[in-house]
Amino acid sequence: MNQRFQLFFLLILFAVSCSKDKFSSEPKVEVRSIEPATVYNGNLIKLLARYTDQEGDVDSVYIVYKWYNGNNPSRVDTLMRFPTNRLGIPASLRKADIAVEFEYNTYNQTNMLTLPGVTRDTTASFGLLLIDRTRKRSNYSESNKIRLKRP
């Protein structure tokens, strides 16, 4: 009888451990790509990412940019915090793609983010951090480095 109970307990434990959801309570974000690799005055920069969130309550996105001097960041800043609807992400999704576009050193489109020009050719990367309605933060995910050319 005792062996049956132990076997039953092990089967239940195995079943519970194998049925874990692939989503977690904290949002998760992964930057997938950034284009173009070299950016000239007036170019559009497109950052593509994907996120998952168990509750589907992602509320806002922090966009972080880093300027590099060699291998070390010389400037790290947050463009600002954006509500998800500003970036075109529908509410209550557990999984979605994010596309963020920037104009480089131009103000041609009033509803688009603008990245200021640099005084000399610079290497940069962009990162995302998500926050949900209960103030849980995601992991930080960063793009590959791109080259910003002086206007």
Reading the chain (151 residues) residue by residue, the pLDDT tens digits are 555 545 454 455 455 455 445 556 889 999 999 999 999 999 999 999 999 988 888 888 899 988 888 788 887 877 678 788 777 777 778 888 888 888 998 887 777 778 888 888 899 999 999 998 899 999 999 999 999 998 8
3-state secondary structure of 143: coil
- Tell whether 2 is covered by a domain: no
- Tell whether 4 is covered by a domain: no
Give the distance from CA 76 to its chain's centroid.
16
- Tell whether 103 is covered by a domain: yes
The pLDDT, as a whole number, for residue 12 is: 55
- Tell whether 78 is covered by a domain: yes
> How many distinct structural domains can be found in the chain?
1
The pLDDT, as a whole number, for residue 129 is: 92
The pLDDT, as a whole number, for residue 4 is: 54
- Tell whether 9 is covered by a domain: no
> Which domain CATH number covers 65?
2.60.40.10
- Residue 111 and residue 2 in contact, taking contact as beta carbons nearer than 8 Å: no
- Tell whether 6 is covered by a domain: no
- Tell whether 136 is covered by a domain: yes
Domain containing residue 60: 22-148
3-state secondary structure of 147: strand
Burial per residue of 50-78, b for 16 or more beta-carbon CB atoms within 10 angstroms, e otherwise: ebbbbebbbbbbbbbbbeeeeeeeeeeee
The pLDDT, as a whole number, for residue 16 is: 47
